[in-house]
Structure 1
Amino acid sequence: MLARTSSSRPFSVIASIFCLFGVCGSASAQSIENGKPVASPFEQWDTNSDGFLSRDEFPKRFPAGLFKRIDQDRDGRLSRTEDDRFRESRRSENNGHRNRGGSINDRVRLPKGATVDQDLVYETIHGRDLPLDLYRPQAENPTALIIWIHGGGWKSGSKAGGGPGVFQLLQRGYAVASVEYRLSGEAVFPAAIEDCKAAVSFLRLNAGKYNLDPGRFGVWGSSAGGHLVSLLGTTNDVDQFDTHPVTRKSSSSVQAVCNWFGPSDFLRMNDFPSRINHDAADSPESRFIGAAIQKNPQKVQRANPAKYASAGDPPFLHLHGDKDQLVPFNQSEILHAALQASGVDTTLYKVVGGDHGFGGSKDSREELIEKSIRFFDSKLQSDSP
């Protein structure tokens, strides 16, 4: 245990690092300041909202060895669980094991009266359960539902945390579902979209049980999750991805789509400079498809949301940074144009200066979350103007 001495400079430096990393508070759970939710450090650093911190997302101001120290499973990324364990161990050292309240397993601080049903199994594939978490506000009447689909390049990510706006959505009377889907290391396209379709159908089938309005389902996702929610929206009238049994019992359609910087046309992602070569055989897109994308254009076309744009699609809101170096801004432009050409209600908001995850943008993350929720208000809430 570190010695308790106010004159120890090494101790003060280490303590400062721990405070920056969230040991002096909760780094994973949202906090409340002046009655408003404030994004936690973990959420602020997790720029692609996939529930993990990559080395690129980890703040450069921390010592070089700290990332490796926290990364207990040595997978090259930090999970919320690893973050929690690190902070709790540091708290124990620095505070003599005094209990400061709160569980290290907490993921989201809920508004008063809200509840969460964790790990609801929406489908089982070859003995593998597919779960979702359902957050519900205190409400007498059936509520609108926002379904969050996480990002992570289709190869990583987690349903933990419920998405960037879960606290605000619950405060506004929405239910929120956060979905786990099969990643590309487990099953390639179309597995992920088939899973997402099944989750929507499960929630609609059980709407009465969970006090949900089956006619007011919105979807929201970032990066790879933005791609999947866009595909959900443009395939309302397409049944080729309704392969799980539950989709034959209840509709997988959605009524509003919020796409945060998701790909829409894989074969055009290299049109602009990027941090990765999207055409490479080991790119996230190629791994998602199961083969090099340029050598499999027909399969890639099936995965492109823009291909399915049609007049019956629900309203869309796209938020995308014009300096995105991972998913080029043109990806939202392509889908927005395809929807416009089909007469669909679609809005593209350029996040000026924003890189992937909106880092460097003039808009704050809180402002972008609010813009997204107001979109859902306008499309899903019956008392909206």
Structure 2
Amino acid sequence: MKLISLIAVGCVLRFAATVHGQTEVMPTHRDLEFAKAGEHRLLLDLYLPKEKGAQLLVWIHGGAWRRGSKNSMPLGALLKEGFAIASVDYRLTPVAKFPANVHDIKAAIRWLRAHAGKFGYDAQKVAIAGASAGGHLVALVGVSNGHPKLEGTIGAHGDQSSDVDVIVSFYGASNLTTILNQSTPHGLSVRVPALELLLGGHPDKHPEIAKLASPVFHVDAKDPPLLLIHGDQDPQMPINQSLELLGRYLGKKRKVGFEVIFGGRHGGREFYDEKRIALVKKFLDKHLN
């Protein structure tokens, strides 16, 4: 499959996957509780390499914001490259609508920073990555540091920062006010019910919430390096979503990479092969060290 890379004020790269037949690994620590939302326990799995002091990568799963779990952690090859990885569960939209998912992820980052000494990884700088709905959420978490409506009060480590230092977004949404206008009929059949669950109604009827949930409206001149990966034939998350976020980053002169997979759809092996792992590792090494 033909591949094109565009480097814009920064680097370009990519990543690997358990769910697509790639390197399978087992968590070192499973079901660690990082917070509670009422009676809902929020859990993460921690994958640790043998060496102490590993850089930390937080993984956020996809599933249209309404399904999926931390068990889908496709980055086993990066663990073998020496990264510590935390795969995080968040409240899904049948349980709690936006911004609960963002609050949960930020709480997980604060917990991970507070427990770095106990588990032996380095959390002075933190990378975050995700795919599909997870790609949307990691971008939003990464560009919304300090936002009073998005930080939340979940968890017991309010003294810790929820900021991240690198973002890797695989085929995620970036503008919930435009995504439906860009979608195919199939995409609409998937996106409309998912967005209604996420936002509490159709985006057209909740424009302010849709803007709050859209990374493009939060980009500023202090945002961390961002890598975007998207297939040009994605029927569910139009590639224009990544193009919009790319444009905002370029407008603020931030470091951003954009990689297009021609013929690529919504995920697949080509997003997670050996070459992409090496590229993402290089990107992370550059911006975490």
Question: What's the TM-score once normalised by structure 2's chain length?
Answer: 0.87
Amino acid at match of 2:57: I
* Aligned counterpart for 2:178 among listed residues 258, 268, 275: 268
Q: How does 1:281-360 map to 2 (within 5 A)?
A: 282-358=192-268
Alpha-carbon deviations, 1:280-327, whole Å to 9, x = none?
A: 7x5211211111111110111000011110111110000000111100
- Write the deviation string for residues 145-168 of structure 1: whole angstroms up to 9, x where unpaired: 00000000001001014x2222x2
Task: Name whichever of 333-342 and 180-189 sits farther off.
Answer: 333-342
Deviations 1:314-370 (A, max 9, x none): 1000000011110000000111111111121111111111011147x6x76333333
Specify which of 127, 134, 137 is matched with residue 49 of structure 2. 137
Q: 1:44 aligned to 11, 15, 20, which one?
A: 20
Match in the other structure for 1:251: 161
Shift in CA distance, 158/206, structure 1 to aligned 2, threshold 3 Å: same
TM-score by length of 1: 0.66
Do the aligned partners of residues 177 and 39 (structure 1) sit closer, same or farther apart at CA in structure 2, a change above 3 Å counting? Answer: closer
Give the one of 22, 34, 37 matched to 1:122: 34
Q: Which runs of 5+ in 2 are unaligned?
A: 1-15
* Contact 2:17-2:272 at 8 Å conserved across structures: no
Larger mean Cα displacement after TM superposition, 334-343 or 190-199: 334-343
What is the letter of the counterpart of residue 20 of structure 2?
A: Q
SS of structure 2 residue aligned to 1:318: strand
Aligned residues with identical type, % of pairs = 32
Partner SS state of residue 262, structure 1:
coil
Show the counterpart of 2:63. Answer: 152
Q: Which runs of 4+ in 1 moved over 6 A?
A: none
Contact 2:55–2:83 (CA under 8 A) maintained in structure 1: yes
Q: Does structure 1 conserve the Cα–Cα contact (< 8 Å) formed by 2:169 and 2:226? A: yes
- Give distance in 2, aligned partners of 1:240 and 1:319: 28
RMSD: 2.3
Higher relative contact order (CA 8 A, sep 6+): 2
2:138 aligned to which of 197, 216, 229: 229
Aligned position for 2:25: 109
Q: Distance in 2 between matches of 1:364 and 1:135?
A: 18
Instruction: Work out which of the two has the higher radius of gyration on C-alpha atoms and give 1 or 2.
Output: 1
How many residue pairs were aligned? 272
Rounded to whole Å, the distance in 2 between the matches of 1:256 and 1:276 is 29
Change (3 A) 1:228 1:278: farther
Q: 2:82 aligns with which of 159, 165, 173?
A: 173
Residue range with higher mean Cα deviation, 370-379 or 152-161: 370-379
Of 332-341 and 269-278, deviating more is: 269-278
Contact kept, 8 Å, 1:155 with 1:184, in 2: the verdict is yes
